Amino acid sequence: MNKVYGSAAEALDGVLADGMTIAAGGFGLCGIPELLIAAIRDAGTKNLTVASNNAGVDDFGLGLLLETKQVKKMISSYVGENAEFMRQYLAGELELEFNPQGTLAERMRAGGAGIPGFYTKTGVGTVIADGKEEKEFDGEQYILERGLVADLSIVKAWKGDQQGNLMYRKTARNFNPPAATCGKICIAEVEEIVPTGSMDPDLIHTPGIYVTRLIQGDHEKRIEQRTVRAA
């Protein structure tokens, strides 16, 4: 089975559908699947629910899909860098489900592991707990969070082999591993595709069994907030 495709558009062909749920890896602008996001924008797929730690910035990352109003709902932890996101939310044009960062990561991991739900103390006594089942364990209150299963996962890795085994570099090893597992289909973009068997098995972060399709591409690697010191 050939998992390697020539471009993001080719890898997404036959996969995208209006109204689908997409889990996207990355943290800030680090390790985001920027090529796949741009291809989804170009495809015009709409009414998307996107689960991602953040929503990119106004002209990059998931901000591209917000700009074209292809996203109807975000499931996120942090969205403070995107003015268009804030405008749409305050105008009632965009649904938002806030998750604590660790909860969102665990929801993805649980979904990928076939775990339908888990209890956590995070969010007890706050609006996060509204409408959720609560249960006491050892004298402490916990809330039930559901595992997250997406129609499609899009992730970005440093290296991948032809079987889809992935290796992430540094901070990009954040939401990408759990996002990769929770999608019914996972498409990965990498900086380099290497021969199968050339990667140290102990350094593989996402086994190829989770990865359906794979592309190699050039990445911009923007800095979300560039701060410099006066000369």
pLDDT for 169 equals: 94
Residues 188-222 pLDDT 10s = 999 999 999 999 999 999 999 999 999 999 998 77
State how far the Cα of 144 lies from the Cα of 187, in Å rounded to an integer.
Answer: 30
Structure letter (DSSP) for residue 27: B
State how far the Cα of 223 lies from the Cα of 128, in Å rounded to an integer.
Answer: 31
State how far the Cα of 128 lies from the Cα of 47, in Å rounded to an integer.
Answer: 24
Tokens describing residue 169: 């570099």
Q: What is the pTM of this model?
A: 0.93
Of the candidates 43, 101, 93, 42, which has an alpha carbon nearest to the alpha carbon of residue 71?
A: 93
Give 222's contacts (C-beta < 8 A, 6+ positions apart). Answer: 29, 57, 60
Residues 79-130 pLDDT 10s = 777 889 889 999 999 999 999 999 999 999 999 999 999 999 999 999 999 9
Q: Exposed, middle or buried by CB within 10 Å (0-12, 13-18, 19+), for 201?
A: exposed
Residues 147-175 pLDDT 10s = 999 999 999 999 999 999 999 999 899 99
pLDDT for 82 equals: 85
Residues 45-70 pLDDT 10s = 999 999 999 888 888 999 999 999 99
pLDDT for 186 equals: 98
Give 3's contacts (C-beta < 8 A, 6+ positions apart). Answer: 162, 163, 164, 208, 211, 212, 213, 214
Tokens describing residue 221: 């690697």
Give the ranges where 76-229 is alpha helix by DSSP (H): 83-90, 101-113, 176-182
- Class of domain 8-116+144-216 as given by CATH: alpha beta
